[in-house]
Chain A
Amino acid sequence: MPDGLVLAAWLIAFAQALLYVALAPLLVGWVRKVKARLQNRRGASLFQPYADLRKLLIKETRVPHTASPLFRMAPYIVFVATWLAAATVPLVALDLPVARIADIIVLVGLLALARFFLALAGMDVGTAFGGMGASREMLISSLAEPAMLMAVFTLAMTAHSTSLESVMSHHLADGFVLRPSYLFALGALLLVALAECGRIPVDNPATHLELTMIHEAMLLEYSGRHLALMEWAAQVKLLLYGVLIANVFFPWGVGREFTPLALGLGLLAVLAKLALLGAALATAEHVMAKMRLFRAPAFLNLALLLALLGLLSHVILEIGA
């Protein structure tokens, strides 16, 4: 690559990373809006999450007496790790240099890093709810993470690469192929995304009902800018999963060269895909009920089974020889 192009690529990568943090609240606003409409409410504005974040950022921050320094570090680490993970997922264009820094396994690792600190922060103050949230989060994630990795492995084995870029390019080069393994991997990844982002059958993002909380229980003691960062990280994570699903399984439209037209089209395509996914998520949350905690493992076992079948059907049905 000539030097000018490399510079352009880094700039686009940087812009894309900024786009992640900028768009993340919008996706949440969209999901809430659709959900409100489905419930025959008018709902808050699409941009309400931005206003919430702004409010939290300018409010005074309180820290409990019993908190250790880790409590104040954790929001930054969680936010940064999630953001870096998101930055490696191609949003509008392929062939970006950030994708080389981290492949899918590193992405899962970075999310795990964020979760590790989130759970520790929950336990730091020493309240009952914090520990409860941390314990439950680790239960959910210990089942969701292998399902996610296996689903991702299915893609990686098809493309012979763990780099998201290569997976997408491979998929684009093959054109439209009906792969049973992709179908299963998609199913698994959807379930994992619901669980990991704390969406409805596993967790409810809209409640502080004490005994059912998972994610909120860990954030209970946070306020002000710390809370803003944690919330923002959760929004980025939702966007990350959305883009992962939208762009890896349906990569059409993503920009393959660094021209304004291609990039603009890529952005439009991904926004359209995300709008559809967000509406689907809102509908799913609308029709499903929250499960009690010990049903969640069954839900995640289904994800594991789907991912496993994806791998097997890849080996059995798609390779031959």
Chain B
Amino acid sequence: MEMNPVLPLAGLAVALALASSAVSLLASREPRVLRWFAMPLIGLAGLAALAAGLWALLAGGSANATLPLGLPWQPWRVRADALSGLFLMIIGLVTVAVGIYGRSYVRGYERGRDSLTALGGFTGLFLTGMLLVTLADDAFLFMVAWEVMSLSSYFLVAFQHEYAANRRAAFLYLLMAHVGGLAILLGFGVLAAFGHGFEFAAMREAVLSPGWASVAFGLVFVGFGMKAGLMPLHAWLPEAHPVAPSYISALMSGVMLKMAVYGFVRVVFDLIGQVQWQWGVIALAVGCVSALMGVLFALMQTDLKRLLAYSSVENLGIVFIALGLSLVFLGTGHLLLGSLALVAALYHAINHALFKGLLFLGAGAILHGTHERDLEQMGGLLRRMPWTGAFFLIGCLSISALPPFNGFVSEWLIFQSALQAWQLESGVLRSIIPIASAVLALTGALVAATFVKVYGIAFLGQARSRHVRHARQGAVGMRVGMGLLAGLCVLFGVLPTQVIALIEPVSVQLLGGGLPESGAQGWLWLTPISSDTASYSAPLTILLLALIAGVAFWWFLRGVPRRIRRSDPWDCGFAPPSPRMQYTAASFAQPIRRVFGLLFAIDESRPAFDDPAPRYRLKLTDRAWALFYLPVARAVEAASRRVVRLQSGNVRVYLGWTLGTLLVLLWVIS
């Protein structure tokens, strides 16, 4: 039998990531180690992961191995199949770009006070954890890898720990990651109890009663949902993602959140197997709330990275809408539609990795060039940083789901699968699903508003502060990293049939069926169900767009006077506009804030008419804090106040408790 190179390649990726981590230990003595060795190793690890993922997807089948590590009776097992291949590919794509970008980015830290050893070391470990999550074939290794991923990213979030806000964000992240981890562990516990083993193979064979299957689903949904930042379990995400270094934010938002999607798909579609449509409705509802609230909060933010973090909540919500649709269709026995929705979900997961990675890298480039994260201080950056501006524009267009970019294709697929709801027997489902797609449509329109705001405020107009006016163009490496992701955004948007052919093995592996019709009309035409139902030709769209634009341009250049005169802006004849007269980020969002006002807790103070130094103050908080988190925190506090009574300080009382516990234990085990 021919040797399947997937596992060796994946192993190489892990080894390179660990090597990068190890090399970074020298960084305290020689800071340039990070730039010359650690980051290139990360990039190479990404390349190896990409190769492994592509091989697993294209060659099909699966490869198994048992590692000489782990517990004596529970050695670690690894397996690479189409599903893990897809997510290895996602890790690989973003990591390669991050490796190239990070080389230039870490230069900025070389003269700083922050520990480069920690930065490089935990980056490598973080990558290792994510790679192992996709490879694990038993619950034990999965949980170990999961915790490595969570813990190392905790240290990366706490990287600049001299700021109190960062420490607070990191603590919140750690706390919630562990609550989530606990829920996942319990979910695996349920499956292991019925499957008599911690290997995934045993769990697959387990026969669960519908009730226990639902319990397992609920637990892993909470666990992975917390990692994915679904509402209302999202609170850590907008705190933690912005404070990490930007390329780490790109990895966290672009890749780590996808690990939650991976885990959910692995456990629900693969391990539990017998899907119930009620789960789909739950996932659909949670996805809708996350998508809508996520984008509304994103629109209200003025901190660029925080805005992007909220937008991740929204995008993961969209992924879970598609997964919910898939569960509904599978639970009611519509295999083809189920696989369509699953493919759409995975497509969106890839797309989100690409454009969110790109946008975070872009935010990093702005931060690097201006030391500014606040949109209210930006403006006119397109002229100072044309390359970053161009790539960021592609990211904005992609995330706003505009044709012919990649975000549009996945949303189009989700709409297509939602529109097949007429095939369902249940009238209630038939009416719920179109409403969900309406929420998706509203979300899409609001995303466009959000990114018009981001791009318009940051890159267009005039600079609103001095250091932004003198912004520096980033280094070549940063531009190449962003350019790579921007190119992929375009590519994945223009060639949807190929991408779907790439994803299809996952659906075949998990559900036993793919989308036989999707490329039946040739690679030009994307026809997910049949050519009568819907078709979209991204290559022709872009071709025609370019063609007509070219003709129009040519016509104008030769037919009419081409002179263009530069002049002052007219602006209805008012005084020459100063940067302070521009619309700000907050004022751009004001109409929508007012329309959706009841969803936010708004604290606004307007200056009086005759105030000599007028100041406008706006503070907008998440209602989830008051509704959800503070009660939990209060309950925990109240409970601990009860428990604290046990702690009297008297040694003999403690010994008494020990004696009592001992007696009870002996009685139980006798």
* B448 adjacent to A112 (CB under 8 Å): yes
* A61 adjacent to B563 (CB under 8 Å): yes
Q: Which residues of A contact B435 (CB under 8 A)?
A: 308, 311
Q: Which residues of A contact B583 (CB under 8 A)?
A: 123, 128, 130-132, 134-135
Distance of A2 Cα from B564 Cα, bound (Å): 49
Ordered nearest first, which 7 A-B pairs have the shortest CB separation? A131-B583, A123-B456, A126-B461, A138-B449, A146-B441, A64-B569, A142-B445
* A127 adjacent to B452 (CB under 8 Å): no
Query: Is the CB of A319 closer than 8 A to any CB of chain B?
Result: yes
* B460 adjacent to A64 (CB under 8 Å): no
Q: Which of A72, A110, A127 contacts B581 (CB 8 A)?
A: A127
* A225 adjacent to B560 (CB under 8 Å): yes
Q: Which residues of B contact A129 (CB under 8 A)?
A: 571-572
CB of B150, distance to nearest CB on chain A (Å): 36
| Beta-carbon nearest neighbor of B559 in chain A | A57
* B535 adjacent to A163 (CB under 8 Å): yes
Distance of A79 Cα from B568 Cα, bound (Å): 25
* CB 8 Å contact bits of B556-591 with A (1 = contact, 0 = none): 100111011111111110100101011100011111
Query: Is the CB of B192 closer than 8 A to any CB of chain A?
Result: no
Q: Which of B400, B567, B582 contacts A65 (CB 8 A)?
A: B567
Q: Which of A123, A146, A163, A319 contacts B442 (CB 8 A)?
A: A146
| Beta-carbon nearest neighbor of B415 in chain A | A105
User: Which of the segments B7-15, B526-534, B615-623 contacts the partner chain?
Assistant: B526-534
Distance of A150 Cα from B461 Cα, bound (Å): 35
* A102 adjacent to B537 (CB under 8 Å): yes
Query: Is the CB of B462 closer than 8 A to any CB of chain A?
Result: yes
Query: Is the CB of B626 closer than 8 A to any CB of chain A?
Result: no
Query: Is the CB of B69 closer than 8 A to any CB of chain A?
Result: no
Q: Which of B481-540 contact A (CB under 8 A)?
A: 525, 531-537, 540
Chain A contact-residue range equals 35 or more
Given the known interface contacts A125-B461, A139-B595, A311-B431, the answer about A66 and B565 at a Cβ–Cβ threshold of 8 Å is: no
A-B contact pairs, 20 of them (CB 8 A): A60-B561, A62-B564, A68-B460, A80-B552, A81-B545, A84-B541, A100-B537, A105-B412, A109-B401, A116-B451, A125-B571, A128-B583, A131-B588, A135-B589, A139-B449, A146-B445, A163-B532, A221-B570, A225-B560, A294-B591
Query: Is the CB of A268 closer than 8 A to any CB of chain B?
Result: no
Distance of A143 Cα from B435 Cα, bound (Å): 15
Q: Which residues of A contact B445 (CB under 8 A)?
A: 112, 141-146
* B452 adjacent to A112 (CB under 8 Å): no
Q: Which residues of A contact B452 (CB under 8 A)?
A: 116, 119-120, 123, 134, 138
User: Which of the segments B307-315, B378-386, B468-476, B656-664 contacts the partner chain?
Assistant: B378-386
Query: Is the CB of B195 closer than 8 A to any CB of chain A?
Result: no
Q: Which of A273-308 contact B (CB under 8 A)?
A: 293-294, 297, 304, 307-308
Distance of A145 Cα from B443 Cα, bound (Å): 10
Query: Is the CB of B434 closer than 8 A to any CB of chain A?
Result: yes
| Beta-carbon nearest neighbor of A136 in chain B | B591
Q: Which residues of B contact A293 (CB under 8 A)?
A: 591
CB of B81, distance to nearest CB on chain A (Å): 33
* CB 8 Å contact bits of A84-96 with B (1 = contact, 0 = none): 1001000000000
Q: Which residues of A contact B579 (CB under 8 A)?
A: 126
* CB 8 Å contact bits of A309-321 with B (1 = contact, 0 = none): 0011001100101
Given the known interface contacts A120-B460, A134-B456, A138-B449, the answer about A65 and B591 at a Cβ–Cβ threshold of 8 Å is: no
Q: Which of A115, A131, A321 contacts B582 (CB 8 A)?
A: A131
* B565 adjacent to A61 (CB under 8 Å): yes
Chain B contact surface mostly: helix
Query: Is the CB of B455 closer than 8 A to any CB of chain A?
Result: yes
Q: Which of B449, B537, B592 has the most CB of A within 10 A?
A: B449
* CB 8 Å contact bits of B380-414 with A (1 = contact, 0 = none): 10110000000001000100111100001000100
Given the known interface contacts A138-B452, A146-B441, A308-B435, the answer about A100 and B535 at a Cβ–Cβ threshold of 8 Å is: yes
Q: Which residues of A contact B459 (CB under 8 A)?
A: 68
* B461 adjacent to A123 (CB under 8 Å): yes
Q: Which residues of A contact B65 (CB under 8 A)?
A: none
* CB 8 Å contact bits of A187-216 with B (1 = contact, 0 = none): 000000000000000000000101000000
Q: Which of A141, A157, A220, A315 contacts B448 (CB 8 A)?
A: A141
Distance of A250 Cα from B460 Cα, bound (Å): 44
Q: Which residues of B contact A19 (CB under 8 A)?
A: none
Q: Which of B427, B549, B571 contacts A128 (CB 8 A)?
A: B571
* A102 adjacent to B541 (CB under 8 Å): yes
* A113 adjacent to B449 (CB under 8 Å): no
Distance of A131 Cα from B587 Cα, bound (Å): 9
Chain B contact-residue range equals 35 or more
| Beta-carbon nearest neighbor of A72 in chain B | B564
* A153 adjacent to B419 (CB under 8 Å): yes
- In addition to A57-B556, A123-B461, A311-B435, 4 A-B residue pairs with Cβ atoms within 8 Å of each other are A65-B567, A79-B552, A131-B461, A162-B415
Q: Which residues of A contact B383 (CB under 8 A)?
A: 68
Distance of A65 Cα from B564 Cα, bound (Å): 11
Query: Is the CB of B629 closer than 8 A to any CB of chain A?
Result: no
* A225 adjacent to B556 (CB under 8 Å): yes
Query: Is the CB of A83 closer than 8 A to any CB of chain B?
Result: yes
| Beta-carbon nearest neighbor of A304 in chain B | B438
| Beta-carbon nearest neighbor of B431 in chain A | A315
* B548 adjacent to A84 (CB under 8 Å): yes
Q: Which of A33-91 contact B (CB under 8 A)?
A: 57-58, 60-66, 68-70, 72, 76-77, 79-81, 83-84, 87
Query: Is the CB of B632 closer than 8 A to any CB of chain A?
Result: no
* B577 adjacent to A126 (CB under 8 Å): yes
Distance of A9 Cα from B415 Cα, bound (Å): 29
Q: Which residues of A contact B587 (CB under 8 A)?
A: 131, 135
Distance of A62 Cα from B566 Cα, bound (Å): 6
Q: Which of B430, B444, B531, B561 contacts A100 (CB 8 A)?
A: B531
* B534 adjacent to A103 (CB under 8 Å): yes
* A127 adjacent to B571 (CB under 8 Å): yes
* A160 adjacent to B577 (CB under 8 Å): no
Q: Which of A143-164 contact B (CB under 8 A)?
A: 143-146, 149-150, 153, 156-157, 160-163
Distance of A307 Cα from B442 Cα, bound (Å): 13
Query: Is the CB of B457 closer than 8 A to any CB of chain A?
Result: yes
Q: Which residues of A contact B567 (CB under 8 A)?
A: 62-65
* A319 adjacent to B564 (CB under 8 Å): no
Query: Is the CB of B553 closer than 8 A to any CB of chain A?
Result: yes
Query: Is the CB of A124 closer than 8 A to any CB of chain B?
Result: yes
Q: Which residues of B contact A315 (CB under 8 A)?
A: 427, 430-431, 434
Q: Which of A63, A124, A144, A157 contacts B460 (CB 8 A)?
A: A124
| Beta-carbon nearest neighbor of B584 in chain A | A131
Query: Is the CB of A5 closer than 8 A to any CB of chain B?
Result: no
Q: Which residues of A contact B535 (CB under 8 A)?
A: 100-101, 103, 163
| Beta-carbon nearest neighbor of A156 in chain B | B419
Q: Which of A63, A106, A321 contacts B412 (CB 8 A)?
A: A106
Q: Which of A64, A110, A112, A297 contacts B595 (CB 8 A)?
A: A297
Q: Which residues of A contact B531 (CB under 8 A)?
A: 100
Query: Is the CB of B544 closer than 8 A to any CB of chain A?
Result: yes
| Beta-carbon nearest neighbor of B407 in chain A | A109
Given the known interface contacts A84-B548, A101-B537, the answer about A126 and B532 at a Cβ–Cβ threshold of 8 Å is: no
Q: Which of B459, B462, B556 has the most CB of A within 10 A?
A: B556
Distance of A208 Cα from B573 Cα, bound (Å): 12
Q: Which of A66, A119, A156 contacts B462 (CB 8 A)?
A: A66
Q: Which of B403, B453, B540 contacts A113 (CB 8 A)?
A: B403
Distance of A6 Cα from B307 Cα, bound (Å): 49
| Beta-carbon nearest neighbor of B420 in chain A | A160
Distance of A58 Cα from B563 Cα, bound (Å): 11
Distance of A111 Cα from B569 Cα, bound (Å): 27
* B540 adjacent to A101 (CB under 8 Å): yes
Q: Which residues of B contact A163 (CB under 8 A)?
A: 532-535
CB of A150, distance to nearest CB on chain B (Å): 5
Q: Which of A63, A106, A136 has the most CB of B within 10 A?
A: A106
CB of A79, distance to nearest CB on chain B (Å): 7
* A316 adjacent to B427 (CB under 8 Å): yes
* A126 adjacent to B419 (CB under 8 Å): no
Distance of A63 Cα from B563 Cα, bound (Å): 10
